[in-house]
Amino acid sequence: MHTPAFLQRHRRAAIAIVGVIAALLLAAILILSFGWSHLRQPLERQMSRQWGRPVTIGAIHRIDHSIFSPVLRIGNVRIPQPAWVGGGDMIVVREANVHLSLLPMLLGRARPSAIEVDGLSIALVRRDALHANWKNIPGGNGAGGGSLQRLIVRHGVLTLDDRKRDHILTATIAADDKGLRVAGRGMLAGNPSTIALSGPAPVGRGPWPFRLDYRSAIANGILVGRADRPLDIGHFDARATAWGDDLAHLDLLVEAGLPGTQAVRLTADVHHDRPDWAIRNLQMRLGRSNLSGDVAIRKVDERTKVDGTIVSTGLDFDDLASNAGLARAAAKRRQLGPRLFPDTAIHLEHMRSTDGVIRFDIKRLLFKQPSTFRAIRGTLTLDHGVLTAQPLVATLATGQLTGLARVRHPSGTPELTLDLRVTGARLEAMLGDTASGTMAAHIDVVGRGRTVRAAIGHASGSIGVVGRDGAVNRRAALLLGSDAGRALFEDKSDKAALRCIVAHFVAHDGIATALPLLLDTDVSRTVGKGDIDLATERVALTLSGQPKLDHAVRLHIPILVEGTLSDPKIVPQDVPRTVGTVFKLIGRALGGKHEDPAPDADCDRLAALALR
C-alpha cells in the first residue's frame, strides 16, 4: 500500500476526529469557566429519573479558578421520601464542595477526587417487609472510595425508623483524614441501645478495615472485619461476636428468621460476597446447650440455598424455646394435661423460597426428666416446601430409632409422614421392673396439621410394638389371664416367661384401633380390643385373659385401660366389693364348666404383621 495515498484517503476522517476533540475541549473549557449553573436542571432531571421522585438542587456554582481541577459548591440537595412514607426528605445535603478532574470528565466520567460535606441528613424508614426506603437505591452497591482521595463530613445525622423490627436510632456521622465515625443511640423493642461504626477514611480502592459495635439489653453484636473496598458492605470478611437473651432478639439485627430461644452467645467467621454468605467456625452457647458448625447461604434463581453441618455435644430442646414460649407450653399442659406428642410447629410458609441441606449430629440429648433418648443425628433436606429428615438415627437407652420424617407444605395444610423403626431395644428400658425382653417397633403414619400433635391427631397408618423372649411379673400375668386362684398365692417378685407382647394399631383419621393387642406368657394369654384417640391421646381398651395352667380358678373380670397415653389407668371391671362376693365368684368358677388351658399364640406371625 502506498502510504501517501492511504493518508490522503483517510485525511477527512482524521480532520473530523480532531474537530470533535477540539469541540469537546472548547465546550469543556467554556463549561468549566462559565456554565456550571446551567447543569443544575439537567442534573435534577437525571437524578429524579434515577430515584423515581422529584430531586431538587438549590444551587451549583464554581468556587475556584483552576481550569483542570474545578471545585463545585452544590447547595441544598433534597431527595424526598417515597410517597408511602407520607412526606419529608430521605437525604438532605446542605452544602458540598466537590473537587473534579478535567480529563475523566472529557471521557464522560465524573470522578471527584475530594468531597467536603457540611450538613448531611439521612432518614431511613421501613414500615413492613414491602416498604423500606433503602431498597433499590440508585447505584447502591455499598462501595465507596474509588478515585476519591479525601472525604470530609461535618454535621452529619443518620436516623432509622424501622417499625417492622421495632428499631429506632439517631446517630452522628463524621469523616475526616483520621477516619469515619458513626455513633448514636436508639431503642430496640423498647430497650435502650447504642451503635458505633468506625474505620479509616473511606477513600481509595484498597481494603477497608472496620469495627461495628451494637449494644442493648436484649441483643448485642461486635463485627470486626475488612471490606474489599471502602464502605463495601456487600463484600467483606469479619469476625462476629453476638449475645443476647434470645436468638429471636438477635434476629432483630440480622434478619435471618431465627427462632426464639434461651439466652445465647456465639462467635463465627463471616464471609459476605453479595448475595452469598459463608459462616465458618460457628460456636454457639444456647442456655445449657452448645452448637458448632459451618453454614453457606447462596442465592440462586431467586431462591435461597443453604448448606451446612451442625454438631452438638449437648442439646436441651427446651433451650430452643424462649421463656415466653415455655410459659405458653406450660399453660397448655396445665389446661390439657401432660401429652406424649409434642406441639412442635411444622408449617413452612416462611421457608418456601429456601432450599438446602443441613447435616446434624447431636451427640448428647439433655432432658430435665428421665428419657430413653440419648442422641440423634441425620440429614435435613428442604426442597420447595418439602422438609425431609433422612437418614434419621436416634440412639436410645437400649437400641436405636431409624427411618425418615417428612413435612410436605408447598401450600395448604402441612402433611407429616413418619416411617420410623425401633430395633435392638429392651422392654425394661421403658417399663422398668414390670417386664423384660427384646423390643422392636414400627410407626408408619401420615397426617395433616400445623403441629406434630395436630398431624398425628389426624393420622392414618399403622403403629406396631413387639416385645419378645423375656419375663413379666407372674402375679400380674395370672391376674390378666383370669387365674385369680393362683394369683392370690404368688409372691410379688415371682416372674413368668414372656413369649410376646404385640401391640398393633391401625389408625384412620386419628383413631387407632387395636388389631390385635396381645400379652402371651407361659401362664396366661391376654387379648385386648378398643381404640386410642390420637388427637386427645385418650385410651379406651379392654383386656380379657385365659389361663394356660390346668385346674385354674378362672374369674371373668375384664380389665379396662383408661386415661391417657401419658397417664394410663388400669381398672378391673365389676370388681367384687365384699369378701362374700369374692367367695361366690370362686365357687362359681370351681363348680362351673371346665375350660381347656389357652393355647400359645402364634407370636411369629403376629409380630411380623405388626412390624411389616
Out of 200-204, 235-239, 292-296, 507-511, least confident range: 200-204
Q: Would 602 be classed as within a structural domain? A: yes
Evaluate whether residue 473 is within a structural domain.
Answer: yes
Label residue 40 by pLDDT band (50, 70, 90): confident
Q: What's residue 5's pLDDT?
A: 37
Question: What values do phi and psi take at 165, rounded to 5?
Answer: -110, 10
Q: Is the pLDDT of residue 592 over 60?
A: no
Cα distances from 28 to residues 15, 31, 112, 441, in angstroms, run 20, 5, 16, 86
Q: Strand, helix or coil at 475?
A: helix
- Residue 244, domain member (yes or no): no
| Per-residue pLDDT at 75 exceeds 70 | yes
Determine which helix (DSSP H) or strand (DSSP E) holds 469, and give its type and residue range: strand 460-473
> Does any domain span residue 144?
no
DSSP-derived secondary structure letter, 173: E
CA distance 100 to 373: 70
The mean-pLDDT minimum among 17-21, 55-59, 341-345, 484-488 falls in 17-21
Judge whether residue 110 has pLDDT over 90. no
What's the structural domain count of the chain? 1
Inside any domain, residue 516: yes
Whether residue 287 contacts residue 316, with contact meaning beta carbons closer than 8 Å, is answered with: yes
Q: Over 90: is that where the pLDDT of 13 sits? A: no
Whole-model pTM?
A: 0.81
Give the type of residue at 496: A
Residue 199 clears pLDDT 70, i.e. is over it: yes
Look up residue 235 and give its three cell numbers.
Answer: 463484600
Higher pLDDT, residue 193 or 206: 193
Could you list the residue range(s) of the whole structural domain that residue 585 is in? Answer: 460-611
Distance CA 455, CA 453 (A): 6
Calculate mean pLDDT across residues 413-432: 93
d(CA 526, CA 561): 13
Using alpha carbons only, give the angle 85, 88, 94 rounded to the nearest 5 degrees.
140
| Region of 139 on the Ramachandran plot (φ > 0 left; ψ -120 to 50 alpha; else beta) | left
pLDDT grade for 558, boundaries at 50, 70 and 90: confident
Whether 141 shows a pLDDT value over 80: the answer reads no
Q: Which residue has the cell 449430629?
A: 361
The three three-digit cell numbers of residue 221, written as one number? 453484636
Report the percentage of the chain scoring pLDDT > 90: 60
The bridge status of strand 435-448 relative to strand 415-426 is antiparallel
Structure letter (DSSP) for residue 409: -
Nearest to 203 by CA among 182, 232, 225, 183: 232
Does some domain include residue 138? no
Could you give the 3-state DSSP secondary structure of residue 145? coil
User: What does pLDDT average to over the chain?
Assistant: 86
| 494, part of any domain | yes
pLDDT at 335: 85
Least confident of 45-49, 134-138, 575-579: 575-579
Beta pairing, strands 114-126 & 150-162: parallel
Task: Give the Cα separation of 400 and 393 in Å (integer).
Answer: 7
Q: Using CA atoms, how far apart are residues 144 and 208, in angstroms rounded to an integer? A: 10
H-only helix segments in 39-141: 40-51, 102-106
Q: What pLDDT is recorded for position 144? A: 55
Confidence grade of residue 169 (pLDDT, cut at 50, 70, 90) = very high
Residues 6+ apart with CB under 8 A from 558: 542, 543, 544, 572, 573, 574
Which parts of 11-141 are beta strand (E)? Answer: 56-62, 71-80, 89-99, 114-126
Helix and strand tally (H, E) in the chain?
A: 12, 29
Across 475-555, the runs of DSSP E, i.e. the strands, are: 495-508, 511-521, 524-533, 538-547
In a domain, 575, yes or no: yes
pLDDT tops 90 at residue 58: yes
pLDDT at 437: 96
Nearest to 132 by CA among 255, 216, 248, 219: 255
- Between 493 and 31, the more confident residue is 493
Task: Report pLDDT for 184.
Answer: 97
Lowest mean pLDDT of 88-92, 148-152, 374-378, 608-612, name the range.
148-152
**Is 431 a residue whose pLDDT tops 90?**
no
Query: In 3D, which of 194, 209, 205, 281 has the Cα closest to residue 240?
Result: 281
pLDDT in tens, 369-419: 888 899 999 999 999 999 999 999 999 999 999 999 999 999 999 999 999
Task: Tell me which residue of 143, 147, 137 sits closest to 51, measured CA to CA.
Answer: 137
Q: Are 217 and 187 in contact (CB under 8 A)?
A: no
More confident: 498 or 473: 498
Weakest-pLDDT range from 198-202, 228-232, 500-504: 228-232
